[in-house]
């Protein structure tokens, strides 16, 4: 990235799935969310989770890193490997889709998915982990990992 240049974050989303449509070439983002639920803590949100990032105003190559941070104490619970991004024209957007490893949830509360570009914080998505009581009639509970569930938000 050029000196002093800051990319513009057009999108930072978590979703059930992000894929490229074969016919149109468009990115399809299915099932966005920012709230997850568990019946007990600590636990892990083990369902397939994808991140979608869209950046513009990139001036030269850069590295993107996503960090999952516990907002209660600022601890970084998960960091992705650096992802190289670039565009030939700063007016064009660079899009990234990335499957996220299981998200640790040590307690109910607020977490953040932080987007780092060139070592600088470029954007953030707050993720709230809530606790609810287990009910035998709730078929969606624990489909992927006992105690962890998701609610669209």
Contact criterion met (CB below 8 Å) for 46 and 98: no
pLDDT of residue 147: 46
| pLDDT at position 6 over 90 | no
Contact criterion met (CB below 8 Å) for 103 and 69: no
| pLDDT at position 48 over 50 | yes
Among candidates 116, 118, 13, 17, which has minimal Cα distance to 67? Answer: 116
Would you kindly state where each structural domain of the chain is located, as residue ranges? 8-31+47-131
Among candidates 57, 32, 42, 43, which has minimal Cα distance to 113? Answer: 32
Q: How many CB atoms lie within 10 A of CB 42?
A: 10
DSSP string spanning 50-96? Answer: EEEEEEE---S-EEEEEEEEETTT--EEEEPPPEEE--SSTTS-EEE
Among 112-121, 124-133, 135-144, the range scoring the smallest mean pLDDT is 135-144
* Average pLDDT over every residue of 107-136: 93
What are the tens digits of pLDDT across the range 26-39?
999 999 999 999 99
What fold is seen in the domain 8-31+47-131?
Immunoglobulin-like (2.60.40)
């Amino acid at each position: 990235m050029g000196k002093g240049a800051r990319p513009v974050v057009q999108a930072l989303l978590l979703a059930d799935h992000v894929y490229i449509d074969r016919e149109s070439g468009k990115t399809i983002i299915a099932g966005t969310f920012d709230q997850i639920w568990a019946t007990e803590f600590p636990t892990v949100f083990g369902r397939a989770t994808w991140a979608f990032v869209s950046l513009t105003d990139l001036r030269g190559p850069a590295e993107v890193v996503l960090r999952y941070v516990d907002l209660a104490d600022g601890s970084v619970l998960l960091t992705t490997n650096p992802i190289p991004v670039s565009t030939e024209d700063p007016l064009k957007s660079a899009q990234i889709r990335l499957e996220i490893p299981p998200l640790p949830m040590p307690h109910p509360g607020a977490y953040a998915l932080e987007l780092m570009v060139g070592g600088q914080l470029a954007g953030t998505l707050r993720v709230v982990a809530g606790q609810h009581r287990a009910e035998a009639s709730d078929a969606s509970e624990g489909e992927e990992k006992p105690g962890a569930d998701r609610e669209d938000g």
